[in-house]
Structure 1
Amino acid sequence: MVELRCYSLKGFLLLLLLGTLTFGHVWNRTYSPFYEVIIPQQLEHTGSQGYKSQVSYMMDIGGERYVIHLRQKRIFIAATFPVYTYSGSAMFHMEEPHIQDDCYYHGYVEGFTDSVVGISTCYGLSGFLQFRNLSYGIEPLESSIDFQHLVYQIEYSEDLYSESTSCGMNYANQNMHSKGVLHDPQFQQEIYTSPQTQYVESFVVVSKGQFDYLRKNETAVIEEVISVINQADAMYESLNVHLMLVGIEIWTADNLVSISHSAEDILNNFADWKMASLNPRLTYDNAALILRETVLPTVGLAFDSKICQPEKSAFFAVFKGNQTARSAVIFAHELGHCLGMRHDDSSNCNCGSNNCLMAPNSISSFAFSDCSIADMADFKDSGGTQCLLNIPGTAAIAISTCGNKIVEGTEQCDCGNKEECKMNPCCTFETCTLTLGSVCAHGRCCVNCKFATAGLTCRPSTNECDLPEFCDGRSENCRNNTFKQKGTPCNNNNGYCYRGLCQYHDGQCQDIFGSGTKSAEFICYEEANMQGDRFGNCGWEDDKFIQCNPENALCGKIQCKHPITAPTYVGNASIIYYAPKGSICKTLNFPRPINIVDETWVHDGTKCGADKLCLDHRCVSVSNLDVACDPKKHCNGHGACNNVGQCHCDIGWTPPDCSHKGLARRLGDMHTTPIYDNSKRNWLLVGVGLLVLHIAIIIIAIIIKRRQSTENNERQDSQAYETENGGQPQTTSQSEQTSAFSSNPSA
């Protein structure tokens, strides 16, 4: 059903034109045809004239009235902002134009605490709104004289694995996301209450095709890029990640890299170009290439987890259509790969919407899933985001924003918008200061506005390969999540820990087919995976499946057996049964292109032999893992190595190397904090005290005895003197003394 609410013939004609452009260009996908023309009404707000730090609008969408509260966002454009253009194929010109940065806003929909809004008000309202698990884009009708805007609902339609609509990232060597800590709401809350804000300094390059699409208008290009960055920044706000645009380059003459080859070639060519041409000019964290060329089979590609590696911190994104909200999703999605985020598995990942931002072909959601949050946290814990901790120039971030749930500047706390702050008695909404008597407002180690007692478990272990974390009594934040070092034996030595999970064949079969399932006999792996087809393989290369060698058969596609024949897996996969030499085996087959990750590949870290595990579909020695900590050597056999190469001591042993006995309690500073046996110390103190008291008594006795001896001697001398003078002491009166002085001739 198409719902149109037009207020003029002109608006109706413009709506038809926009609808035609939209269906003709955006991602070749089926959407709910919900388009509505509205007139947003700005509500009165106290403040100065012009663009205000806070502004509110009332909008009627789908027959219901909503109030959108916005706060100004002015810290995402660098103070020094170069724009490079070209007059020829090789000669560039640099300008530092005045950039209007006071009309970009983030906000929320009143009454919806989990809503997200990113809007530009420079020329009408342009951006996105997400609430009630629905996503909307909003754009101004340019020729309208009545402040008319087009609101369109972005809906997802199942068209999985279509190359023209999917991200080009392939995760052939990655595990499926699994349930557990990912769905813990406290875990998600901790991400954006972390005191460490991360800043991604982004440089954007615009291709000749995109420049031509915007009618060769450099100003229009700059405005679109800034709008996309603003909206993407709103999406990353919940992760405590800020995007800062540090510059733009527009290929106004010709593309400076070839875009006629594969997506991988384009990305590699762009990386080579930026290293040779862009890096010598300025400092940045990540470079993005925006393309308009429609010949590409994907909407983007990125170097995975390379945000802090200058030679590889890059991605490209293909913008299709004329709606910045969808372009911003593509931009945020590809940047997510640079930040260590994998594609979401729809069966295990949740964001409160049908489709999350890191789905392989997402455009309908502006929210990150719990899986993406976990990926980001793991990447940060591994040190992959160290380059993002430096704070950009103070001129560019002088303004802190109270209400964005990020503690910045002089803020003591930030509980979010007014609705969210009603649930936090520790923080004052208007001033972002702690309420009277409070010492904290956020974090797992903040209990009733006070620091939790040292030793309180703030993040319990979720499985055999996870390690617990504890409050230290001095901070509101639980320490970084740690887990056992990859290659640590688990499941009674039948598997190995890898990325915080115990990997073994039986466990993977149970994840797919349910409890009671076990891994099939070796003959099943050998029979299936040595075929090198979609039912059994060791990955793919050059668009062809790879046959497994016998020694790698256990690292190809998972093969399972089950006590019942009825399938228990729910999904769009086919269950394949076969019986080599009388053994009943089964596996799954997903209908998808060859170069898309297969969730049924045996997980990396799975044990495939004595002291061997699977890595990249090969059965290799555990010694191939790049780990620096040996629990026997560095932890003296009394602790486990964690994922950052430090010892997590067993109870009864003290850090940092677990070499000394003593009562100890793990506190989550990646070690254990010693708490020594106080009884021994107390006895020692008592002994020392008694000794000091004994010595003091002796000294006092000696002093008293000496005084008594001195007094006796003085008394004896006095008696002897009296005896010598006839028993009377010799005295002289004062008058006699005076007379004597007077008669002195010399006086």
Structure 2
Amino acid sequence: MVELRCYSLKGFLLLLLLGTLTFGHVWNRTYSPFYEVIIPQQLEHTGSQGYKSQVSYMMDIGGERYVIHLRQKRIFIAATFPVYTYSGSAMFHMEEPHIQDDCYYHGYVEGFTDSVVGISTCYGLSGFLQFRNLSYGIEPLESSIDFQHLVYQIEYSEDLYSESTSCGMNYANQNMHSKGVLHDPQFQEIYTSPQTQYVESFVVVSKGQFDYLRKNETAVIEEVISVINQADAMYESLNVHLMLVGIEIWTADNLVSISHSAEDILNNFADWKMASLNPRLTYDNAALILRETVLPTVGLAFDSKICQPEKSAFFAVFKGNQTARSAVIFAHELGHCLGMRHDDSSNCNCGSNNCLMAPNSISSFAFSDCSIADMADFKDSGGTQCLLNIPGTAAIAISTCGNKIVEGTEQCDCGNKEECKMNPCCTFETCTLTLGSVCAHGRCCVNCKFATAGLTCRPSTNECDLPEFCDGRSENCRNNTFKQKGTPCNNNNGYCYRGLCQYHDGQCQDIFGSGTKSAEFICYEEANMQGDRFGNCGWEDDKFIQCNPENALCGKIQCKHPITAPTYVGNASIIYYAPKGSICKTLNFPRPINIVDETWVHDGTKCGADKLCLDHRCVSVSNLDVACDPKKHCNGHGACNNVGQCHCDIGWTPPDCSHKGLARRLGDMHTTPIYDNSKRNWLLVGVGLLVLHIAIIIIAIIIKRRQSTENNERQDSQAYETENGGQPQTTSQSEQTSAFSSNPSA
């Protein structure tokens, strides 16, 4: 492995003086003058889990001393791990080599709760550290005999970006996140899924990358594993874990054409994996790692296609020899597959100047609140269903206490030592519940106990969203649900679709700001019937499609605004035109024809009476083919949700909302009843009074029966006296005494 990073300290200093440091060119960033050579000192670990599972290092960075605590991460490599190589252009060989998996770690910086660390210790320390809103890379100087390492701080620069140094994904609407729930301290907890999601990733390495690593297959495998480990550390905060299920190395030739067109590369790779890779093994996502210098971007992905086998793919271009930057590019492109859009720097926050999903970011390893919300929306729409299956037990047999994921025999996992100080319910060293605790995590865990049934754990976020409630039996809030697609919203001016109210005015406001409205029909007709980049109903065979008049409202969005001055929206061009005196405007964003245009009217947008847009066509709402009818199945006293169940109005009981009651519930087994305590108390009082009344009646009956018995006995006695002359046969006390006195003994 020495040959992989064979720069010496002398050579590094020479490069620094010349200003030609190789990794300074990645993504066209300007880095701070902070580069430092340090010697990390390994600290003796006194924990019960031994040296290999927990490691600590002391590092002097920038004149300050820091302690890095690391926990071994051993669940991200599949138990059966194939590596494919080629001896010729068509014949591949498969091996299952021994993989060293005990030298990959996640961790934190002592004293910094929000810090993130992802490091490999296989050959020195290689990875990243993020704390104090700063990002550092660390790499070993392998020619050093003194365990010397290079630490470099990555800083964001507001340089103008060139196409060749940015992500290839283009979004016309860069104001998409301006209306999000931002800067909320509980934002990540609310929107992060309580259920762990696993991305089973297969990585293909190009001939250029293989050659760059001196045709060393072992070096290629180790670099890929190191990148996956670091990317996994970045996704850990989202409760998403990456599992590497295999690697293919194009050792002879590239099996897809590497052209100047990023779109062609991605499409060619997708076609290849469908024909060649999919028949071989099961995986969720395929990544192509490139080194070729002819590429116009550093990566491109199919947007929101993680669970679509034919499109779940991306490519990433590795530049330089720092795995930290390669891992960021990898994590960024994977984020697009998971439904994340590019961050708007003015509206998205991650505690740093730049976040992981910024168009040109490698200065941060953290996801923004916008990215968290994007993925939550994508999951709620069913886009990540394929990630919920737990990989084979052999692959995840080893649980990792301290990674904030409850796995194996763990009862809880509060994270690192600093984070566990804020969680009194979980024991840091053993990942077990503290004495008396029944839970430690989740929105329905309050003071280490299950929250009261009926507590709102996820409020509705908009008109088309539905609230969720705790059930009193679990710490987890139920999966997020929303109103069934096709449910009217915005005073019947739109329809709910995938949890959002879709209507033309709303889309115009998202793009151009408040006060904007949808333009008159003449604007849609004039623009979208042209069938060009300024107005169309999609594309087919690399040609724009002209809209028919009945579909004009489902083509490209057309807006109007009371302010006539141009509105700045990213780097898109604003197109103004005035058919028949109406002032219309839309956006033109430079993009290839076959890339999704965010200015297309959204599916679900109302385009007529009982009609909505689907795939650029104005169709009947009945085309949605939904199973639940709120009038029929919910008896007009509730709404249908996205899983076909009834969310009953307050005062009506599930599952069909047909009876009045004290419950409010979303679908069968989805939430629990909300009881009115005052009504319950009156009910208890009523039952008590009824029992008391019955008891009084029983006592009265018993008394009456006793009186009746006594009267009968008295009547019998009187009848007997009458039969004996009317005198009772009794003896006086004096006669009795005399009789005893005249005993024969006298």
Provide the TM-score with structure 2 as the length reference.
Answer: 0.82
Q: Report if the CA contact (8 A) 1:612-1:620 is conserved.
A: yes
Q: 1:570 to 1:716 in 2, by over 3 A?
A: closer
Q: Report if the CA contact (8 A) 1:15-1:150 is conserved.
A: no
Unmatched tracts of structure 1, length 5 or more: none
Mean Cα displacement is larger for which, 25-34 or 121-130? 25-34
Q: Report if the CA contact (8 A) 1:134-1:153 is conserved.
A: yes
Distance 1:327 1:154 in 2: 13
Q: 1:514 to 1:63 in 2, by over 3 A?
A: same
Task: Give the match's secondary structure for 1:595.
Answer: coil
Task: Give the match's secondary structure for 1:51.
Answer: helix
- Residues 517-547 of structure 1, C-alpha deviation per residue, up to 9 Å, x if partnerless? 3333333334444455665555566776655
- Residues 397-421 of structure 1, C-alpha deviation per residue, up to 9 Å, x if partnerless? 3332222222222322222222222
Per-residue deviation at 1:170? 5.7
The match for 2:400 is 401
Q: Report if the CA contact (8 A) 1:470-1:668 is conserved.
A: no
Distance 2:244 2:379 in 1: 22
Per-residue deviation at 1:470? 1.5
Q: 1:539 to 1:718 in 2, by over 3 A?
A: closer
Per-residue deviation at 1:654? 1.7
Q: 1:424 to 1:711 in 2, by over 3 A?
A: same
Per-residue deviation at 1:218? 1.0
Mean Cα displacement is larger for which, 81-90 or 672-681? 672-681
Mean Cα displacement is larger for which, 337-346 or 715-724? 715-724
The match for 1:335 is 334
Q: Report if the CA contact (8 A) 2:469-2:671 is conserved.
A: no
Q: 1:124 to 1:563 in 2, by over 3 A?
A: same
Q: Report if the CA contact (8 A) 2:9-2:141 is conserved.
A: no
Q: Report if the CA contact (8 A) 1:154-1:364 is conserved.
A: yes
The match for 1:126 is 126
The match for 1:702 is 701
Q: Report if the CA contact (8 A) 2:76-2:242 is conserved.
A: yes
Per-residue deviation at 1:219? 0.9
Distance 1:4 1:104 in 2: 18
Distance 2:262 2:285 in 1: 18
Per-residue deviation at 1:234? 0.5
Q: 1:624 to 1:715 in 2, by over 3 A?
A: closer
Per-residue deviation at 1:388? 2.9
Q: 1:386 to 1:522 in 2, by over 3 A?
A: closer
Mean Cα displacement is larger for which, 4-13 or 606-615? 4-13
Per-residue deviation at 1:214? 1.0
Q: Report if the CA contact (8 A) 2:469-2:672 is conserved.
A: no
Q: 1:50 to 1:290 in 2, by over 3 A?
A: farther
- Residues 588-628 of structure 1, C-alpha deviation per residue, up to 9 Å, x if partnerless? 55566766665544333322222223344443333333533
Per-residue deviation at 1:220? 0.5
The match for 1:488 is 487
Alpha carbon RMSD of aligned pairs, Å? 6.2
Distance 2:481 2:338 in 1: 19
Q: Report if the CA contact (8 A) 1:68-1:110 is conserved.
A: yes
Mean Cα displacement is larger for which, 190-199 or 390-399? 190-199
Q: Report if the CA contact (8 A) 1:578-1:584 is conserved.
A: yes
Mean Cα displacement is larger for which, 615-624 or 106-115? 615-624
Distance 1:596 1:162 in 2: 19
Q: 1:508 to 1:711 in 2, by over 3 A?
A: closer
Q: Report if the CA contact (8 A) 1:186-1:444 is conserved.
A: no
- Residues 121-162 of structure 1, C-alpha deviation per residue, up to 9 Å, x if partnerless? 111111112233332222222222333322333344557885
Q: Report if the CA contact (8 A) 1:194-1:477 is conserved.
A: no
Q: 1:58 to 1:421 in 2, by over 3 A?
A: same
Q: Report if the CA contact (8 A) 1:81-1:97 is conserved.
A: yes
Mean Cα displacement is larger for which, 310-319 or 449-458? 310-319
The match for 2:99 is 99
Q: Report if the CA contact (8 A) 1:167-1:360 is conserved.
A: yes
Mean Cα displacement is larger for which, 707-716 or 659-668? 707-716
Q: Report if the CA contact (8 A) 1:21-1:321 is conserved.
A: no
Q: 1:129 to 1:606 in 2, by over 3 A?
A: same
Matched residues, number: 746
Distance 1:333 1:626 in 2: 36
Mean Cα displacement is larger for which, 252-261 or 706-715? 706-715
Per-residue deviation at 1:215? 0.9
Mean Cα displacement is larger for which, 87-96 or 473-482? 87-96
Q: 1:532 to 1:22 in 2, by over 3 A?
A: farther
Per-residue deviation at 1:493? 0.7
Q: 1:399 to 1:730 in 2, by over 3 A?
A: farther
Q: Report if the CA contact (8 A) 2:196-2:240 is conserved.
A: yes
Per-residue deviation at 1:98? 2.3
Distance 1:51 1:205 in 2: 34
Distance 1:743 1:124 in 2: 130
Q: 1:2 to 1:270 in 2, by over 3 A?
A: closer
- Residues 253-308 of structure 1, C-alpha deviation per residue, up to 9 Å, x if partnerless? 23344445854554455445445544454443333332223333343344444434
The match for 1:20 is 20
Per-residue deviation at 1:119? 0.9
Per-residue deviation at 1:471? 1.6
Q: 1:742 to 1:174 in 2, by over 3 A?
A: farther
The match for 2:88 is 88
Per-residue deviation at 1:19? 6.8
Mean Cα displacement is larger for which, 663-672 or 467-476? 663-672
Mean Cα displacement is larger for which, 621-630 or 594-603? 594-603
Q: 1:565 to 1:201 in 2, by over 3 A?
A: closer
Q: 1:634 to 1:347 in 2, by over 3 A?
A: farther
Q: 1:524 to 1:157 in 2, by over 3 A?
A: farther
- Residues 189-213 of structure 1, C-alpha deviation per residue, up to 9 Å, x if partnerless? 4369755222222222222222122
Mean Cα displacement is larger for which, 147-156 or 95-104? 147-156
- Residues 319-368 of structure 1, C-alpha deviation per residue, up to 9 Å, x if partnerless? 23222112212222232233333343445433233433233443333222
Task: Give the match's secondary structure for 2:567.
Answer: coil
Q: Report if the CA contact (8 A) 1:117-1:129 is conserved.
A: yes
Mean Cα displacement is larger for which, 705-714 or 14-23? 705-714
Distance 2:216 2:573 in 1: 51
Per-residue deviation at 1:722? 20
Mean Cα displacement is larger for which, 272-281 or 237-246? 272-281
Q: Report if the CA contact (8 A) 2:653-2:662 is conserved.
A: yes
Distance 2:226 2:733 in 1: 109
Q: 1:582 to 1:385 in 2, by over 3 A?
A: closer
Per-residue deviation at 1:65? 3.9
Q: 1:541 to 1:182 in 2, by over 3 A?
A: farther
Q: 1:535 to 1:692 in 2, by over 3 A?
A: closer
Distance 1:595 1:346 in 2: 27
Q: Report if the CA contact (8 A) 2:191-2:373 is conserved.
A: no
The match for 1:289 is 288
Q: 1:523 to 1:283 in 2, by over 3 A?
A: closer
- Residues 229-262 of structure 1, C-alpha deviation per residue, up to 9 Å, x if partnerless? 1011101111112212222222222334444585
Q: Report if the CA contact (8 A) 1:211-1:250 is conserved.
A: yes
The match for 2:602 is 603
Q: Report if the CA contact (8 A) 1:662-1:675 is conserved.
A: no
Q: 1:669 to 1:461 in 2, by over 3 A?
A: farther
Task: Give the match's secondary structure for 2:495.
Answer: strand
- Residues 453-497 of structure 1, C-alpha deviation per residue, up to 9 Å, x if partnerless? 211222222221121111222222222222222221111111122
Q: Report if the CA contact (8 A) 1:479-1:668 is conserved.
A: no
Mean Cα displacement is larger for which, 498-507 or 230-239? 498-507
Q: Report if the CA contact (8 A) 2:4-2:219 is conserved.
A: no
Distance 2:296 2:629 in 1: 46
Identity %: 100
Distance 1:71 1:437 in 2: 28
Unmatched tracts of structure 2, length 5 or more: none
Task: Give the match's secondary structure for 1:52.
Answer: helix
Q: Report if the CA contact (8 A) 2:554-2:617 is conserved.
A: yes
Q: Report if the CA contact (8 A) 2:454-2:672 is conserved.
A: no
Q: 1:415 to 1:744 in 2, by over 3 A?
A: farther
Per-residue deviation at 1:642? 1.8
Q: Report if the CA contact (8 A) 1:5-1:37 is conserved.
A: no
Mean Cα displacement is larger for which, 225-234 or 342-351? 342-351
Per-residue deviation at 1:102? 1.6
Per-residue deviation at 1:574? 5.6
Q: Report if the CA contact (8 A) 1:156-1:354 is conserved.
A: yes
Distance 2:384 2:734 in 1: 101
